[in-house]
Amino acid sequence: MAEKFQAVVIGGGPGGYVCAIRLAQLGLKTACIESRGSLGGTCLNVGCIPSKSLLNLSEEFHKAQNLSSKGIETGEVKLNLSKMMKNKDKAVTILTKGVEFLLKKNKVTYFKGTGSFKSKNEILIKDDKNKESLVETDNVIIATGSVPVSLPGVEFDEKIIISSTGALKLDQVPKKMVIVGGGYIGLEMGSVWSRLGAEVHVVEFLDHITPGMDKEISSEFMKILKKQGISFHMKHKVEKIKKNKSGAIVSTKDMDGRSKNFECDAVLISVGRKPNTANLNLEKVGIDLDEKKRIKTDKNFKTNQSNIYAIGDVIVGPMLAHKAEDEGIAVAENIVGQSGHVNYDTIPGVIYTTPEVASIGKTEEQLKELKIKYKIGKFSFMANSRAKAIDDAEGFVKILADEKTDKVLGAHLIGPHAGELIAEIGVAMEFGASSEDIARTCHAHPTFSEAVKEAALSVDKRAIHS
Ligand code: FAD
Ligand code: NAD
């Protein structure tokens, strides 16, 4: 007899496991099915967590090499890459085991295996030994995430032609690394390997990096990364990637038709990710997909089948862990008749390079397109006393507020701890705050957050320290 549940979540990533916990909190008998053998999804296993571990460790290595200029004498600083990788793996193991504990604590049944639809109310689970079991359920939540895309005709071998997964576990530092795509993954992983000693070349199709980000921040970001030694080849299209004895040759063409060949030890292809709907047997239940093969849902995350929902990277929207988590909570609340909701206007995006880049709400370009009149407040970390005191003063805070009402419409930061500072603006925006509300809030001195207050003051042209 098939075990019966009120809700079955397929996928144990930040969307899926958070959704399963919330469903169980709300009193539903819940199961979560995960195929990779450990919980936490892309984010904990091969995404957010291992990349942030390597970003931190490589930054420490880089800083340690420059300590003598700050009056701290050390011996020779040497890299032990395998130990660094073990540290990263330890962080992943601790966190994925932690999620398993949380599922148990909340009485969610965890099935290790691949879930697929037998019918609208029956899910088949196949484990890694091909053993099959069946569960019955009232509701299904699809949270199967996304996978990296490659270029046409180019296959990942995860040693020379690598996706982000390969870039997180190289066993030696490539002498020369080509990165195709100047987005989140390319710039984070490019920073890691550049700090560890690789010569890094980013080949980008557009004339700017991090498309969709406020243009002023994006150009400042590129300037800073160039100073750090990363080379950029903008408006370049990759024509061919051919492996040779020791690595690969990447052939590119620019907009004027000029060709260039890059010989390198490794090529990271980071041109985006695609929704993961393979193995679900969606045809069986007739789930509608959109033009990008994402699962189509309504604003309550319901698919065209009334008991089947989808959340996270597998549906429309930014492919971010916190977006998936918030959708997981909202859909669980909707299933029990509450009013789950995600405010897509206040989802922050953070790039964890040095300096960090963080963004929320509308960019200047979007406001212009929407014909919304706005005021700008800007404040440089060069004038922030905490940043100056620790010699970490690159970047600025930019706040965009409605010209008439002063309501904060967006904020874009590049600088120390930008990824933490953005949370204050997120709360302000959720409360419909004006820039004056932020400006009149007392901020501790000396902190980086004073740069946010000063940028808010600067919206009304009354910054004190610039
Ligand atoms: P996923 O995390 O992809 O989880 C889906 C899970 O479903 C997977 O574990 C998969 O094995 C499982 N699955 C798939 N099909 C089946 C099936 N049929 N049966 C059972 N299980 C199945 N986002 C951030 O917000 N911050 C970051 O710093 C960040 N860094 C990143 C760094 C890298 C290198 C990468 C690649 C991504 C990063 N992301 C980051 C993006 C983030 O990882 C994703 O947005 C997030 O993991 C999406 O969550 P999800 O639950 O929708 O899907
Ligand atoms: P991305 O969408 O961030 O960037 C892809 C880049 O590749 C773009 O700049 C695009 O113009 C460029 N590009 C596309 N096709 C190209 C081609 N043929 N030649 C050259 N350039 C090309 O994608 P990504 O970096 O692969 O990351 C995927 C997703 O993972 C991100 O969108 C993000 O949602 C998530 N992620 C988030 C974080 C974070 O939150 N810190 C970190 C890593 C990944």
CATH assignment of the domain containing 179: 3.50.50.60
Whether 119 and 8 share a structural domain: yes
Q: Which residue from 18, 22, 42 has its CB within 8 A of the most atoms of ligand 1, so it is best to mutate?
A: 42
Domain assignment present for residue 360? The answer is: yes
Mean pLDDT of the chain: 97
Does the pLDDT at position 1 exceed 90? Answer: no
Domain assignment present for residue 315? The answer is: yes
Does the C-beta of 186 come closer than 6 Å to ligand 2?
yes
Altogether, the residues listed in the chain come to a count of: 466
| 79 φ, ψ (degrees, to nearest 5) | -95, 130
Domain assignment present for residue 255? The answer is: yes
Domain assignment present for residue 152? The answer is: no
Does the C-beta of 42 come closer than 6 Å to ligand 1?
yes
Q: Give the model confidence (pLDDT) of 196-248 as tens digits.
A: 999 999 999 999 999 999 999 999 999 999 999 999 999 999 999 999 988 99
Domain assignment present for residue 156? The answer is: no
**β-strand pairing of 408-415 with 396-402:** antiparallel
Q: Which residue puts its alpha carbon closest to atom 14 of ligand 2?
A: 271
Whether 33 and 94 share a structural domain: yes
Does the pLDDT at position 150 exceed 90? Answer: yes
- Cα separations in angstroms, 255 against 202, 252, 262, 399: 16, 10, 17, 34
Q: Select from 302, 323, 342 the last residue of a domain.
A: 342
Q: Which domain holds residue 366?
A: 346-459
Does the C-beta of 351 come closer than 6 Å to ligand 2?
yes
Whether 333 and 431 share a structural domain: no
**Which is catalytic among the residues 201, 341, 412, 445?**
445
Domain assignment present for residue 155? The answer is: no
- Cα angle 167-17-100, degrees, rounded to a multiple of 5: 85
CATH of the domain at 415: 3.30.390.30
Does the C-beta of 96 come closer than 6 Å to ligand 1?
no
Domain assignment present for residue 200? The answer is: yes
* Alpha-carbon span 378 to 451, nearest angstrom: 9
Mean pLDDT score, 80-102: 98
Mean pLDDT score, 289-307: 97
Does the pLDDT at position 162 exceed 90? Answer: yes
Taking the CA of residue 351 as reference, the ligand 2 atom at the shortest distance is 41
Q: Residue 259 Cα, ligand 1 centroid: separation in angstroms?
A: 36
Whether 215 and 337 share a structural domain: no
Q: Select from 271, 286, 307 the last residue of a domain.
A: 271
Domain assignment present for residue 153? The answer is: no
Q: Select from 223, 248, 271 the last residue of a domain.
A: 271
Q: Residue 149 Cα, ligand 2 centroid: separation in angstroms?
A: 10
Q: Give the model confidence (pLDDT) of 361-391 as tens digits.
A: 999 999 999 999 999 999 999 999 999 999 9
% of the chain residues with pLDDT over 70? 100
Q: Which residue from 8, 9, 48 has its CB within 8 A of the most atoms of ligand 1, so it is best to mutate?
A: 48
Mean pLDDT score, 119-123: 98
Ligand nearest to the CA of 353: 2
Ligand nearest to the CA of 151: 2
Q: Residue 116 Cα, ligand 2 centroid: separation in angstroms?
A: 29
Q: Which residue from 189, 205, 250 has its CB within 8 A of the most atoms of ligand 2, so it is best to mutate?
A: 205
Residue 144: name the closest of 332, 10, 298 by CA: 10
* Alpha-carbon span 301 to 341, nearest angstrom: 10
Domain count, the chain: 3
Active site residue 201: no
Whether 120 and 197 share a structural domain: no
Whether 7 and 120 share a structural domain: yes
Whether 142 and 183 share a structural domain: no
Does the pLDDT at position 333 exceed 90? Answer: yes
Whether 119 and 206 share a structural domain: no
pTM score, two decimals? 0.98
* Alpha-carbon span 460 to 169, nearest angstrom: 49
Q: Residue 313 Cα, ligand 1 centroid: separation in angstroms?
A: 7
Whether 33 and 139 share a structural domain: yes
Mean pLDDT score, 305-325: 98
Q: Give the model confidence (pLDDT) of 170-189 as tens digits.
A: 999 999 999 999 999 999 99
Whether 331 and 304 share a structural domain: yes
Q: Which residue puts its alpha carbon closest to atom 34 of ligand 1?
A: 47
Q: Give the model confidence (pLDDT) of 392-438 as tens digits.
A: 999 999 999 999 999 999 999 999 999 999 999 999 999 999 999 99
Q: Which residue puts its alpha carbon closest to atom 8 of ligand 1?
A: 41
Bond into 275 cis (ω within 30):
no
